[in-house]
Amino acid sequence: MITQVKNIIKLLQFNNLSEFEDIVHFSTTRIGGVSSKRLESLNLGYTVNDNPKNVTQNLDSLAQSIGFERNQMVSPKQTHSKNIGIVNSNKDIFPDTDALITNKPGICIFIRTADCVPILLYDPIKKALAAIHSGWKSTVQEISKHTIELMQKEFGTKPEDLIAGIGPSIGPTVYEVGTEVAKIFNKQFGANHIVNPIKNSDKYLLNLWEVNKQILIESGIPKEQIEIAEICTYTNSELFYSARRDGVKTGRLATGIMLKM
């Protein structure tokens, strides 16, 4: 990924998506905002006991640093589902939704994370976009596959045209899960370097990066068009919030994409 610092806000961008001049995209770090103490400093979540004015100011600063207004941003209320929203207006509201798609210029769709996997998709032929929140529950439900299928239906997207980015999230060397979750993944996806037992323990290490990559490939995206950030939110405390490390009320990062007007 490419590191950008804009008006003190530190952002990350995918190399493959950065090749397209008709879109803007980003994945935030925790650096460059006004939130304080445990939420220092660019917290973008309203549900973590931050002062709402801080979150609003952080979102304003994020939008302005990239070159648009906060009222152009649309995000869903995430519930670890496989539900997908189609964005036609910046006034659209999406409860119980974990992915957004659009082909409307000037609307920035984004999702929030604090260890879960953010995924961006871009169809440069049909000019269609997706932002996906894929924690382990949504990954098991193959939300990325369903998102691609909906893009095919709504926009005529061909999976082989899609450019994909798998963003910063908890990494495969630290993401511990129990036997029940390990069995679910082994049953659905097979071994395939996804679940690895921890020696002398009843815990397993889960590789959400690899399983989401496999889902994208099996959905028809060529592997050479998929970029994995390979940046762990858990182990990089100076750059990222992490729910597993700091608790569920830690700050929230944002990953988004917009088609320029």
pLDDT in tens, the chain (261 residues): 999 998 899 999 999 999 999 999 999 999 999 999 999 999 999 999 999 999 999 999 999 999 999 999 999 999 999 999 999 999 999 999 999 999 999 999 999 999 999 999 999 999 999 999 999 999 999 999 999 999 999 999 999 999 999 999 999 999 999 999 999 999 999 877 799 999 999 999 999 999 999 999 999 999 999 999 999 999 999 999 999 999 999 999 999 999 999
| pLDDT attached to residue 25 | 98
CATH number at residue 132: 3.60.140.10
Three-class SS of the chain: CEEEEECCEEEEECCCHHHCCCEEEEEECCCCCCCCHHHCCCCCCCCCCCCHHHHHHHHHHHHHHHCCCHHHEECCCCCCCCCEEECCCCCCCCCCCCEEEECCCCCEEEEEECCCEEEEEEECCCCEEEEEEECHHHHHCCHHHHHHHHHHHHHCCCHHHCEEEECCECCCCCCEECHHHHHHHHHHHCCCCCEEECCCCCCEEECHHHHHHHHHHHCCCCHHHEEECCCECCCCCCCCCCHHHHCCCCCCEEEEEEECC
143: in domain: yes
Whether 106 is in a domain gets the answer yes
Question: Is residue 125 in some structural domain?
Answer: yes
Does residue 124 lie in a domain region?
A: yes
In a domain, 204, yes or no: no
Residue 58 belongs to domain spanning: 2-172+225-259
Q: Is residue 208 part of a domain?
A: no
Number of structural domains found in the chain: 1
